[in-house]
Amino acid sequence: MENRFINEILSIYSKIDVQVEAFRSAVKLHCLSGCGICCTSTKVEANAIELLPLAQELFHRGEAEFWMERAQAAHYEGACIFYDPKPQRMAIGHCRFYAWRPSVCRLFGFSKVKDKTGKPKLAACIIQKNIMPYVIEKAEKSVSHGMHYPGLTNFFLQIMGMTHQAVLCQLTERFTWHLRNTVWKFK
């Protein structure tokens, strides 16, 4: 049963990656190399099931217990525990498990969300807006003229439809829950 979920999740992630890359290439929008501002936020939420591929990978590597302890020690606060900042600056670094990151990490900065009036808009990050306003303007103009770009809600609903356990919470907390309740039962 777990492999079915993992395969479904990975299939959704593959679709996300293809759509994000197509959009990024078309409008020349990108994250700055090594930028990790979004990784340092405590407001990032993920669905529990989204972390199943990562939890399984850590289990297979023999690292699940280490990461479980690290997550619990973080008390569900601070930067993502999987973010590896450079010693000089917290906002510069990389994801230790980039291939297994959840949908919000894949889509942020390159997807659409709805504004207060219900109209779709580009969910660009503040760094992108400040550093490359001309690219953001081009992307928004392309979107307003009908260019397809990935929707955060669309993929989120696909993932939520996979299980009744689709509950949002802080990413580190959800990872801990999954290790404790799902992955370790296979030991």
pLDDT at 62: 94
Per-residue pLDDT for 23 more than 70?
yes
Q: Mean pLDDT in the chain?
A: 81
Residue 184 confidence class, pLDDT cut points 50, 70, 90: very low
Predicted confidence (pLDDT) per residue in 57-105, tens digit: 999 999 998 998 888 888 767 788 898 888 777 667 888 999 999 998 9
Predicted confidence (pLDDT) per residue in 98-143, tens digit: 999 999 899 888 888 778 888 888 888 888 899 999 999 988 888 8
Tell whether pTM > 0.75.
yes
pLDDT at 133: 93
Closest alpha carbon to 149 in 181, 117, 107, 93 = 107
- Range of weakest confidence among 17-21, 47-51, 75-79, 179-183: 179-183
1 compared with 156, residue with greater pLDDT: 156
